Structure 1
Amino acid sequence: MSTANIDATIVAIAADRITDALRTGQPVEPVRTLLGGGGIALAYAVQEELTRRRLATGAVVVGRKIGLTSPAVQQQLGVDQPDFGVLFADMDVSGVVEVPSRRLLQPKAEAEIAFVLKHDLAEGDLDDAQIRAAVDYAVAALEIVDSRIADWDITITDTVADNASSGLFVLADEQLTLADFEPAEVTMRMYADDVLVSEGNGAACLGDPLNALVWLARTAREFGNPLQAGQIVLSGALGPMAPTPPGTRIRAEIGPLGSVLANFSPKEGQ
């Protein structure tokens, strides 16, 4: 990404605002008022600054997440492409007895396909065939999105700056290769406390979750930080997201990948 015309002072102030939300546990005002006409490029600069700060404290990057894969959400935010955020190791809460609600401000859950890579995606045409060959396996996943912006009052610049509204994620155990299934053909049903709250399919994610992965591979390379072997990619929601207040039990069934579960800790004693 070009850093021309990026105001480092504005970037730092916006990053400080989001950092304050993380430190205090209280959502903050949108950062779009700070970024002005800087657009998505300036928002990604804020995201990069927040990533730099996290890395300086010892955080480890384990992959990326793709957001805004739904045409309806793109239209709502006035954009014509997805966005991405960074996944850190401490965001992975797979296998925990309870997802720690104390780490979240205003969380919602999305059911997705997660791809794990076996090859770097730094060279070549990054076409469909190369992307398919780079996928080691896929699993059912829950992305627990969260916003540090009060009341989810976001535009594209707010969510990009806020690490694409990332929170935590849960990966299921069952692994399938792309020889075993077609991501575009999966079906999804997500339940909150056994009540159906979301349903969809692979086509809801840019027509095919692999299309989202192609977009990310090319975009990440353009930003100078290409995808690497071993990284996890959350490819985007297969249906609407649902709120997950403390005490909620979320179960998503993604056929044929199986089920993925998350139990959110209660408010007290969390």
Structure 2
Amino acid sequence: MTDFDTEAAALELFRARLTRKPCHAPGQRFAIDSLARAEQVQSALLAMYQKAGQEIIGYKLGLTDQRAQAATGIGQPLSGALLQAWQYWDGDAIPVAGLIEPRVEAEVAFVMSRTFDDPQAGLAKLLDSLGGALPALEICDSAIEGWPRSLFEALADNLCSGLFVLGSRPVDPRSLDFAGLPMKLSRSGETLAEGNGSQCMGSPLNALLWLARQRAAEGNPLQAGDIVLSGALGPMQPVGRGDQLRLELGALGVLNCRFV
């Protein structure tokens, strides 16, 4: 194991993404052994993307299953960033050429309409700050060979971000029962995964509120126009070229895409 080196770890992850050649065990090799160190590496990695001309347009949540939080001892969600170049829409053809080992999760996407800058505010303030909710698929990926061996590695690698696909018809979040939202993910008519909103911190709104408060407390609040992916409503599934996916999210609507 080498000494902790934020920039060296971030550069290795960045190059692995660019070349599609995953790196080996960066957590062990660069001593990424805490949340604080993982967050430092993620921040440096995102700065490299921004220097290369990429724009951060939102954020994503992970570890939103409360059982997983308890099992890992972390006791909270984790977050990463979304880049504009990674965004696709309902009906799009999703290219796999730039991905390494993609996997897909069904999620809820929220779009902010106002700044949320009060770390003590509750759901009423959050709902007032939302412009809409959409069905979403997150196409997760990893720069790490065999996928991360620890949550610290995953967090450093921008929480295994890849691409994301959004529905095209926003729904008023006040009209939805997010906790009871049914989820069904299918591939070419075959059911891959089922779940519901309660699997995401009891409700995807709870996950969003956690992130909104966290960022407000850090002085970097969610802003109007930001997109936030809630975290998974069911198990992650592998995906590849030729797959046609359909996500059904109850009253939130339907999303379709194909991988090419």
Sort the TM-score into its range (normalised by shorter chain).
over 0.9
Partners of 1:240 and 1:123 lie apart in 2 by: 33
TM-score by length of 2: 0.93
Deviations 1:136-168 (A, max 9, x none): 110111111111111123311111100011111
Name the counterpart of 2:37.
42
Change (3 A) 1:42 1:196: same
Deviations 1:27-70 (A, max 9, x none): 11122114436400110111111111111122111110001111
Q: Which amino acid aligns with 2:56?
A: V
Indicate which of 258, 264, 268 corresponds to 2:253: 258
Name the counterpart of 1:154.
149
Deviations 1:119-151 (A, max 9, x none): 101235232221121111101111111111111
Partners of 1:237 and 1:140 lie apart in 2 by: 11
Secondary structure of 2:159 counterpart: helix
Identical columns (%): 36
Name the counterpart of 2:168.
173
Pairs aligned (count): 258
Name the counterpart of 2:23.
28
Partners of 1:78 and 1:16 lie apart in 2 by: 29
> After the TM superposition, which of the residue ranges 146-155 and 131-140 deviates more from structure 2?
146-155
Q: Which amino acid aligns with 2:229?
A: L
| Structure 1: stretches of 5+ with no match in the other structure | 1-6, 266-270
Partners of 1:124 and 1:78 lie apart in 2 by: 24
CA deviation after TM superposition for structure 1 residue 93, in Å:
1.5
For the 8 Å contact 1:77–1:155, the answer to whether it is kept is no
Indicate which of 217, 224, 229 corresponds to 1:229: 224
Partners of 2:138 and 2:150 lie apart in 1 by: 20
CA deviation after TM superposition for structure 1 residue 95, in Å:
4.6
Q: Which amino acid aligns with 2:85?
A: D
Is it true that 1:121 corresponds to 2:116 in the alignment?
yes
Name the counterpart of 1:16.
11
Name the counterpart of 1:132.
127
Is it true that 1:93 corresponds to 2:93 in the alignment?
no
Name the counterpart of 2:234.
239
